[in-house]
Amino acid sequence: MPRIVSAKKPKNLGYTVRRLLSYMGRHKFSLLSVAILVITSVLCNLAGTYMISPVIDNLVSGGGMPALTRGVAVTAVIYVIGVISALLYSQIMAYSSQKIVYDIRKDLFNHMQTLPLKFFDGHKSGDVMSYYTNDVDTISDALNNSFSAVVKNGFQIIGTMTMLVVLNWRLSLIVALSYACMFAYVRYSAGRSKEYYKKQQRSLGELDGYIQEMVAGQKVVKVFNHEKANLAGFDERNTDLQAMGTAAQAYASTMIPAVVSISFLTYTIVSLAGGFMVLEGLTSLGALASYLVFVRQAAAPINQFTQQSNFLLSSLAGAERIFELVDMKSETDEGQITLETTDTGWAWNDSGTLIPLRGDVRFENVDFSYDEGHPVLRSVSLYAKPGQKIAFVGSTGAGKTTVTNLINRFYDVNSGRILYDGIDVRRIAKDDLRRSLGMVLQDTHLFTGTIRENIRYGRLEASDREVEEAAHIANADSFIRRLPQGYDTIVYADGANLSSGQRQLLSIARAAVANPPVLILDEATSNIDTRTEDLIEKGMDRLMEGRTVFVIAHRLSTVRNANAIMVLENGEIVERGDHEELMKQRGRYYRLYTGMFELS
């Protein structure tokens, strides 16, 4: 299974950071004020601490009680400013960091909606979920904790460095060298552990997908006593994740002790070198003591800095995955022609020229394959005149579903073309094309919400009355009314509280409420018992009146009333005609039809 995390661009750190910064750029003002407030708070902290020495000096030089009170008062004011800035920046940051994450999630989801079906065919839903559950999370954590910390510690490092150089430039050369060592190490180990983090995220995604699949397939698992084998599969992925996680974390957590130790070594060398300088008379003992205090202070922000870069690292790996998805090519839509409502009905608008929508669909020598080298449709030509009912018949896998997938451009033809009212479907804007087609898919997907909301999915502005009428046409009305809360009964995504027949009735009602000129029915009636189906059929006849209908059905009565029947075999139309003609031909259709009586 190909994954989005490709090895193609392993070290696109710069790009990822730029992208992330562009999200932060939308909150320029907030982030700028955070930076200023952070710096103010650091300055106040330093200044307050610095005040201690003049106050004490005053005591030593005999300034007395008034001087002490004054000094303490000044310190208090500085501290109050410091606390207020800390309060403000942490609050602002709490809000803007969540807004940034909100934006990222929004872009991620919205872009996902535009991706072609191929993407969803090729990615496990658990893998895709992992973008939301894991990757966005790490970014959110990093922003919450790391942004202000990085500004704060960066500023502290610069401040301390300046102080060091001013106090003793010779010794500062040693300190500078040690800083360089620390950063070099951090950079190196950051690069290494980023690789591990990425592997860890990948293992997590895989485990996610596995759990999802097995939870969804619990019934099959139980029926086949497959719990143990399942556990083995889980174990394998779980162990994999454990190994990757341990490696990544073990690598990342060496950073702090390494930096701390380098700073202690520096401390040692500076003490010794400073000691010799005192002996040589290059500096005083007092100056060396205060210099050493600063060297010791310098270690803390570097420590923090490295710690925060840990968080940033894992978030960058997540961000990289997210941006890879956001950068994926959307479903192409070069269509310009739009759908319009006119007084007389719907019409195509071809740059000003209105062509009435009639529902005339033609296939001209259409070839198609999902993967290269495996042709699914070969040179298929057919036409449906407005109001005609075209039925597809053939064994499973013959390409019936594919034909309908091409009409609504879930996929595009490889060669040949499909004309809709004389217009190549590729010239029609996809959304408008699909809006003109009603679909009842093979699998019914319901959304968590009321029955009413689920039917209204077909046309959002439908009134309650229209929803109920549509349900009535699909003969779903009677079962819905028997439910405890009627139309307001909540159904869940997997529709566990409805039978598959009932789900299909809802799907038909959904198409009915959409009221489109062209209908595509894909094996919609196969799971409904005959008595219910009889009722549906009558409603469907009403619904199909005046519409062009493509139907893939197992029921002969539906097929028999069709204007044209296409018998598909291995991606080719092997027979076509109406029921009588095909029966006379005594070919494939005849065999299918009579197959039923053989059984009895």
186-205 residues near another protein, rule: CB under 8 A = 204
Tell me the number of residues near another protein by CB under 8 A: 175
**Least Å distance between CB 233 and another protein?**
9
| Helix 64-114 and helix 285-326, axial crossing angle in degrees, nearest 10 | 20
For residue 180, state whether it binds another protein (rule: CB under 8 A).
no
| Residues between 80 and 109 with contacts to another protein, criterion CB under 8 A | 80, 82-84, 86-87, 90-91, 93-95, 97-99, 101-102, 105-106, 109
Interface stretch with another protein, choices 17-25, 134-142, 340-348, 358-366 (CB under 8 A): 134-142
Strands 564-569 and 572-577: antiparallel
**Least Å distance between CB 358 and another protein?**
20
Three-state DSSP class for residue 568: strand
**Least Å distance between CB 275 and another protein?**
4
Which one of residues 17, 47, 54, 213 is an interface residue with another protein (CB under 8 A)?
213
Round to whole Å and give the CA distance between 455 and 509: 6
Can you give the length of the chain in residues?
600
**Least Å distance between CB 32 and another protein?**
19
For residue 133, state whether it binds another protein (rule: CB under 8 A).
yes
Q: Which is nearer to another protein, 13 or 88 (CB)?
A: 88
| Residues between 476 and 535 with contacts to another protein, criterion CB under 8 A | 479, 484, 492-494, 496, 499-502, 505, 510, 514, 523, 526-532, 534
| Residues between 283 and 312 with contacts to another protein, criterion CB under 8 A | 285, 288-289, 292, 296
Do the beta carbons of residue 421 and residue 407 sit within 8 Å? Answer: no
| Residues between 394 and 413 with contacts to another protein, criterion CB under 8 A | 394-397, 401, 408, 410
Q: Which is nearer to another protein, 18 or 340 (CB)?
A: 340
Q: Which is nearer to another protein, 343 or 580 (CB)?
A: 580
For residue 129, state whether it binds another protein (rule: CB under 8 A).
yes
Round to whole Å and give the CA distance between 62 and 191: 57
**Least Å distance between CB 100 and another protein?**
10
For residue 342, state whether it binds another protein (rule: CB under 8 A).
no
Closest to 361 in 3D by CA, of 381, 334, 347: 381
**Least Å distance between CB 538 and another protein?**
12
Closest to 579 in 3D by CA, of 571, 588, 569, 589: 589
CB contact set of 587 (below 8 Å; sequence gap of 6+): 567, 574, 575
Do the beta carbons of residue 572 and residue 367 sit within 8 Å? Answer: no
Round to whole Å and give the CA distance between 497 and 253: 49
User: Considering Cα of 193, then 196, then 202, then 207, what sign does the dihedral take?
Assistant: negative
Q: What is the per-residue binding string for another protein in 263-282, x denoting contact by CB under 8 A?
A: -xx-xxx-xx--xx-xx---
| Residues between 23 and 82 with contacts to another protein, criterion CB under 8 A | 45, 48, 52, 55-56, 59-60, 64-65, 68-69, 71-72, 75-76, 79-80, 82
| Residues between 427 and 456 with contacts to another protein, criterion CB under 8 A | 431, 434-435, 437, 439, 441-443, 445-448
**Least Å distance between CB 15 and another protein?**
25
Rounded to 5 degrees, what angle do the CA atoms 497, 498, 500 make? 140
The 3-state secondary structure of 72-131, one letter per residue: HHHHHHHHHHHHHHHHHHHHHHHHHHHHHHHHHHHHHHHHHHHCCHHHHHHCCHHHHHHH
Burial call 406-425: b when 16+ CB within 10 Å, e when fewer: bbbbbbebeebebebbebeb
| Residues between 464 and 483 with contacts to another protein, criterion CB under 8 A | 479
